[in-house]
A and B are shown apart, each in its own frame.
Chain A
Amino acid sequence: MLRESSKRNGSLDSLNLQGAVGPEADSGVPHGDLLTAFAEAAVRRTDALPGLRERIAAELGVQELVDAAGVVANFQRMVRIADGCGIPLDELTRDATDDVRDELGLHEYASAANTA
């Protein structure tokens, strides 16, 4: 979805998917470092969370912060539906993303076993 949406808005060339899975790389998405740090702090419950809220509110805007919180909340749900039901990847997604999943090390996740 990240790759597709970057393709649609013309920013695919600057996208680095490694930045989506870990903090070591720059994703190339504007303010991506701040947004992923917020997501990580919210999921991991770190002490950085209050400061990151303030930074997003100041640097992007308060509505952007609420938007980001909504996405975090949505995916805290979606991952539990996916892995709580052991769903396999949809065929189209599997074929279209196999190389990227390999590159990002996603096949190491235990839930990869749900996709034959």
Chain B
Amino acid sequence: MTTTTFPFAYATTDWPVLERMAEAHRRSWAMLAAPGEWWTGAQRVSIAAECRRASALVDGLPDPGPGPAALSEAALFAVHKLIGDLPNVTREWYDETISAEGMSDTHYIELLGVVVHIWSVDEFHRALDIELEPLPAPIPGEPTRIRPLGAKPHGSWPATIRPGDLGETEADIYGGAEYAANVRAAMSLHPDSVRWLSDLFDAHYLSWIEIGGEQEPFRVLTRPQRELVAARVSALNECFY
């Protein structure tokens, strides 16, 4: 099921979800529906649909069905691996995945960007027992297929862009910072995924002001309480980073 409007009508739920959170989720759906750099809008919505299928499979729930466009076996497998088998995502698997037909490092990073952001919005809903938002109708158009020239190997599996190597079209992705932590730069091969990350990071967890130690008035848990939840989720996923 897809839709062209994104209500995220939290006012009808039991929980006081802030409008700034709803707005961030609406922006996520708009980004999902649009053509990307390496996948069409229909393919991106299909990646999101597969994300929900993978989650349903793990949770033993009925199959919600595929999205509007066919995806390659490698793409389908990658989505399921990232959702249901994260501790076994290895360098060898990554190399094999990006070498498969119809895939590349840039395809993989954009796919990852779609998976993690849709998964995150859905996980917010699941945590609060809010019905999942229907996926958006894809926006027609072709991928731009622009690879950032400043992307280089820096220790992560995919190439990444350091702040000093940003080009004009992605100059904004680190907000002007001179340093980008590895996790922030991880998806910089697909700059829109970094923009998406920053947007939801701010909505779900911390703004840049808070990273500096301040507390936004709209957050009610203390910073140690937030970090404790963060640490437990990371540990449950066996994430070293």
Q: Please name all residues of chain A whose beta carbon is closer than 8 Å to the beta carbon of B157 when the two chains form the complex.
A: 85-86
Min CB gap B234→A, angstroms: 6
> Which single member of B86, B116, B129, B238 contacts A50 (CB below 8 Å)?
B129
Chain B: interface size category = 35 or more
Chain B neighbourhood of A36, CB < 8 A: 228-229, 232
State A61–B119 Cα separation when bound (angstroms): 26
Q: Once A and B bind, how many residue pairs between them come within 8 Å at the CB atom?
A: 245
Q: Does B176 contact A (CB under 8 A)?
A: no
A115 touching B240, Cβ below 8 Å: yes
CB-CB < 8 A to B235: which residues of A? 20-22, 104, 106
Chain A residues near B112 (CB-CB < 8 A): 80-81, 84-85
Task: Say yes or no: is B237 at the interface (Cβ < 8 Å to chain A).
Answer: yes
Q: 14 more A-B contacts (CB under 8 A) besides A5-B224, A69-B124, A82-B186? A: A6-B224, A9-B223, A17-B231, A20-B235, A69-B128, A70-B205, A71-B230, A72-B229, A72-B233, A73-B123, A73-B127, A76-B233, A86-B90, A111-B238
- Residues in chain B within 8 A of chain A (CB atoms): 14-18, 21, 59, 82-83, 86-91, 94, 109, 112, 115-117, 119-121, 123-124, 126-129, 155-158, 181-183, 186-187, 197, 200-201, 203-205, 213, 219-241
7 pairs of residues in contact across A and B, judged by CB atoms under 8 Å: A36-B229, A69-B15, A79-B234, A79-B237, A80-B86, A85-B112, A88-B155
